[in-house]
Structure 1
Amino acid sequence: MNGIFTRIGIPSTIQLLILVTSIDYVSVSTLMIFENRFYLLNSKKKWWKRIRPFWMIVNFLLAPLHQIPNILEFPDQKYARELVINNLPCVPEFLYTADLVLPSLNSPTIVINSILFVSIIFGQLAIFANIIIAQLYTNFGANTLSKTTRHLQKRLLKTLVLQTGIPVVSLVFPGIYAFFSIYTGHFDMGLNNLVATVASLHGLVSTLSIILIHQPYRDTVLFWRKNKKSESKRWSIPVGSNLTNH
C-alpha cells in the first residue's frame, strides 16, 4: 500500500530526504534539551549567552547541510536498481516492481557522514550531560541552588537520560546491523524484517517511555495516582457583614 506522500505525487527520493532530515532534527532537539538544563544552571555566564544563539543556528543548520554529500552521491535509480537486484541473493518477486530508493552505491560516504553527524551531536550532548551531573553533585561553576531545587534538577536529569536513552536503543541496534550487513555483504531477510520492525517501533517506544517516566503523564493518561502523604492546607477567608447604623 502506498503512503499519503506517494498518493499526492511526492517522489520517493524526497520522502527519504524528509525522513532522514526529521530524524536529524529529533537528534538536534534532544541536544537542545540538555543544553537548556546547562543554561539554567549557568545563566550568569555571559560568554555562553553571547555564543548561544550562534551555537543553536550552527546545530540546526547541520541537520540538513550534512546530507549534501549523500545527495551528491545519489545514483541513477534505474541503473542502481538493476545492479542491486542482480547482486542480492534470493530476491523476492515484489522487489522487482516495488518503488525502491537507493541513496548511494558508495556506502562508505553515507556511513562516514552518518557517523560524523552522530558523533558531533551526541558528543555535545554527552559533554552537557557530564557538566550538568558534575554541577548538580558538586555545585562547581553553577548558580547557587537550594536543596529542593537541586533535588528536582537531579530528578529531571535522570528522567531526561532515560527518556533519551530508551528510544535511542530502538535505532542504535538496527543501525549497527545495517552497517554490519553492508560491510560484510551478509543479507538475511528474517533479520532485515526484524530490524525494520524494531526501528519502526521507535515512535511507540518514545511515547511509552515519556508516559512511564514522567509522573504527570502517568497521572493523566494512565490514572496512576499516588496517595498524597499530606493534604494541602486551605486558607479560609472569613466573610464579614457590614452593619449599617441607623
Structure 2
Amino acid sequence: MNITCISTHRYLDTPEFLTIALHINTIMSTPVYIFGIFIILTKTPEQMKTVKWCLVNVHGWIILFDYSVSIMTMPFLLLPAFGGYPLGILKYFGVPTFVQTMSVMIIFGWMWASTVLVFENRFYIICTVQVKNRWKKMRRKWMFCHYSYVFVLAIPCYWFVPDQEQAVQKIFESLPCLPGYIYEAPVFVLTENCVYHLSVIVIFIAICSIEVLIMVFYMSYTIVHQLKGKTVSRKTFEMQKNFLVALLMQVLIPLTMIVIPVIPWLFLIITYTYIQSIVNFTIIIATSHGSVATIVMLIVHRPYREAILLMIRKKPIGSVNNSRRIMYAARNALSDINN
C-alpha cells in the first residue's frame, strides 16, 4: 500500500461531488414522489381499484430504495473491488456498514418482488375461474415466499465478509494510487469472492422476470380468447389491453435506470479497472430510478394522465371539448359568410 504516492483525481471522483449530487437528486425527486402517491390515492378510478394498493406498495418500495441509497447510505464504492464506505446519515447513528449494505440489497429485492405482485394482481383478476380457484389456495404463500427468500438469501452474505484489515490492504495494493482521504476512510470490504452475491441477484431477477413473462403471456391469451368468445365487450378488452401495456411500460422504461449502471460496473469488474467518476455517476443514475418510475406511471396510465391534465387546465375536459366545438362552429360560420 503506497500512501505516499501522488494521486491525480478530479472533483467528479470525490465524495463531495457524490454527496451534493445525491442531495440535489433527493430534493428534486421528493415532490415527484409525494405527487405520485397523491395521484394514486385520490385519482385512481373505480375500474383500477383492485390494483390501487399494489401500485401504492410498489411505489413505496421504489421510494424506500432510492432513499436508502441517496440519503441513508450514500455508498462511495471502490469498484472493481467490492469495497467502499458510506456517506449517508446512518453512519452518524453508528449503523455498521455491513448492515447498511444488506439493508439496501434487501430493499432492492423487495422492490422487485412488489413489482411482480402488481402483475400477479392483474393475473388473478383476469384468469379463468378454474385457474383462480387453484391459484387462490397458494397465492398468499407465493407472495410470502418472494419477500422471505430475499431476506433468507441475504443471511449467508455475513459468512463471506473477510478479515477487514487484510482485505482493505489487498484493495489498496490492487488499485492505483488513491487520494489520501480514501486511505483514511473506514473502508469496508463486503467480499473477496462475489460469485454468491452476483448469482443470488441474477437468479432472483431472472425468476421474477420469468414469472412476469408467464403472467403477461397468460393474460394476453386470456383476454384475446374472451374477446373471441364474446364473453367480454370490445371496450373491456381495450381497457384490459391498455392497462397491461401501461404496466409493462411502467416497469420497463424505469428499468433502464438500473440497467445503465450495471453495464459499466460489469466492465469495471471484468477488466478490473478503477474509474471513480464513472462509479459516482452510475450511482446517481440508479437513484433517479424512482422519480423516472413515478413520472412514467403518471404518463402511461390514462386516468392519471387525464387527472393531471384536468388539474393543469383547471376545468373539465368536456368544457374544453365544448369550447373547441364552438370555436370550430364559429370558424365555419365565418367561412360561409365570406363565401
TM-score > 0.5 by shorter chain: yes
Q: 2: CA distance between counterparts of 1:220 and 1:63?
A: 36
Match in the other structure for 1:68:
155
Contact 2:254 2:292 in 1 (8 A): yes
**How far did 1:29 drift?**
0.4
1:35 to 91, 95, 120: 120
**How far did 1:112 drift?**
1.5
Measured at CA, do residues 198 and 9 of structure 1 come closer, stay the same or move farther in structure 2, by a change above 3 Å? Answer: same
Give the partner amino acid of 2:121.
Answer: N
DSSP-derived class of the 2:317 partner:
coil
Give 5+ residue unaligned stretches, structure 1: 232-246
Task: Answer yes or no: is 1:26 the counterpart of 2:116.
Answer: no
**How far did 1:92 drift?**
2.6
Deviation readout 1:30-57 (Å, 9 max, x if unpaired): 0000011110012512111112122112
Match in the other structure for 1:243:
none
Match in the other structure for 1:147:
234
Measured at CA, do residues 210 and 126 of structure 1 come closer, stay the same or move farther in structure 2, by a change above 3 Å? Answer: same
**How far did 1:219 drift?**
4.7
**How far did 1:171 drift?**
0.6
1:125 to 212, 223, 235: 212
**How far did 1:220 drift?**
4.9
Measured at CA, do residues 65 and 176 of structure 1 come closer, stay the same or move farther in structure 2, by a change above 3 Å? Answer: farther
Match in the other structure for 2:198:
111
Superposed, 1:75-224 pairs within 5 Å as 75-139=162-226, 144-220=231-307, 223-224=311-312
Measured at CA, do residues 146 and 183 of structure 1 come closer, stay the same or move farther in structure 2, by a change above 3 Å? Answer: same
Q: 1: CA distance between counterparts of 2:200 and 2:112?
A: 15
DSSP-derived class of the 2:176 partner:
coil
Report how many residues are paired.
231
Larger proportion of helix: 2
Contact 2:127 2:219 in 1 (8 A): no
**How far did 1:64 drift?**
1.1
Contact 1:75 1:102 in 2 (8 A): yes
**How far did 1:58 drift?**
1.5
Deviation readout 1:196-242 (Å, 9 max, x if unpaired): 221121122122222222344445556355833878xxxxxxxxxxx
Match in the other structure for 2:78:
none
Give the partner amino acid of 1:191.
Answer: I
Measured at CA, do residues 137 and 224 of structure 1 come closer, stay the same or move farther in structure 2, by a change above 3 Å? Answer: farther
Q: 2: CA distance between counterparts of 1:114 and 1:33?
A: 20
Higher RCO (CA 8 Å, separation ≥ 6 residues):
2
Give the partner amino acid of 2:217.
Answer: N
Measured at CA, do residues 50 and 76 of structure 1 come closer, stay the same or move farther in structure 2, by a change above 3 Å? Answer: same
Q: 2: CA distance between counterparts of 1:95 and 1:217?
A: 47
Q: Which moved more, 1:204-213 or 1:103-112?
A: 204-213
Contact 2:254 2:289 in 1 (8 A): yes
Task: Answer yes or no: is 1:10 the counterpart of 2:95.
Answer: yes
RMSD: 2.7
Contact 1:24 1:63 in 2 (8 A): yes
Measured at CA, do residues 213 and 93 of structure 1 come closer, stay the same or move farther in structure 2, by a change above 3 Å? Answer: farther
Contact 2:258 2:286 in 1 (8 A): yes
Contact 1:163 1:206 in 2 (8 A): yes
Q: Which moved more, 1:19-28 or 1:168-177?
A: 168-177
**How far did 1:176 drift?**
2.8
TM-score (norm: length of structure 1): 0.82
Give 5+ residue unaligned stretches, structure 2: 1-18, 20-86, 323-339
Q: 2: CA distance between counterparts of 1:77 and 1:139?
A: 61
TM-score (norm: length of structure 2): 0.61
Contact 2:223 2:237 in 1 (8 A): yes
Contact 2:123 2:215 in 1 (8 A): yes
Q: Which moved more, 1:87-96 or 1:55-64?
A: 87-96
Q: 2: CA distance between counterparts of 1:91 and 1:194?
A: 18
